[in-house]
Amino acid sequence: MEWSINKGSHACFLCEKIFPEEEVYLSALYDENNEFLRKDFCVECWDKKDNENSFSYWKTKISKKPEKVEKYAKIDVFYDLFNKLENEKDLSRVNFRYVLSLYLMRKKVLKLISTHKSNENEYLVLHIVKEDRDTEVLKPQLNKEEVLAVTDEIGKLVNCTPQISPDNAS
Ligand SMILES: [Zn+2]
């Protein structure tokens, strides 16, 4: 299966309303003490609150069956995160960005151009197809289990786990 939607509380963070199936709600990532925290909001609460300090946000719809259109929406969420993490130096964020790059390469959003080493670090040079520009990704020293653990962590935040192939992560 391409997507594993994680079970979450699916309730509004502010008014605690439970989202029914087919309802559109908003999820936002907040950077709190250097850790990402996801909060879900109903549309009414989202419109009323100040959204300036969210790191990234996206719309979600609880559907009975996974729909194609939702898959593309998730690619955009992962791509947005990948971009926003570009200049982050914190190790867990470097790990996030690397794992997101594996997923986005698989989805052909990114193309691997080359790799190079500098100061003992290995970098991937990637072409962002839709923006027609290149970016670099620091490749952390992660084994297969660690890559899967990071993937799991991203999945819990976004409520949808990116499917990657850690065996091809070279
Ligand atoms: Zn609400």
Count the domains in the chain.
Answer: 1
Domain range enclosing 49: 4-168
Please tell me the predicted confidence (pLDDT) of residue 159. 75
Per-residue pLDDT, averaged over 69-79, amounts to 78
Q: How many A from CA of 17 to the centre of ligand 1?
A: 6
- pLDDT > 70 fraction of the chain, expressed in percent and rounded: 84
Q: What is the pTM of this model?
A: 0.80
Question: From the centroid of its chain, how far is CA 146?
Answer: 17
Q: How many A from CA of 131 to the centre of ligand 1?
A: 35
Q: How many A from CA of 23 to the centre of ligand 1?
A: 12
| Longest Cα separation, the chain | 52
Please tell me the predicted confidence (pLDDT) of residue 7. 47
Backbone torsion region of residue 33, taken as left when φ is above 0, otherwise alpha when ψ lies between -120 and 50, otherwise beta: left
> How many other C-beta atoms can be found within 10 angstroms of the C-beta atom of residue 28?
19
Ion ligand 1 — residues with CB < 5 Å: 12, 14-15, 42, 45
Checking if the pLDDT of 1 tops 50, the result is no
| Predicted confidence band of residue 9 (pLDDT cuts 50, 70, 90) | low
Of the listed ranges 7-11, 48-52, 67-71, the one predicted with least confidence: 67-71
Please tell me the predicted confidence (pLDDT) of residue 70. 61
Checking if the pLDDT of 71 tops 90, the result is no
**160 phi/psi in degrees, rounded to 5:** -160, 120
Each residue of 92-113: pLDDT tens digit?
999 999 999 999 999 999 999 9
Q: How many A from CA of 19 to the centre of ligand 1?
A: 9
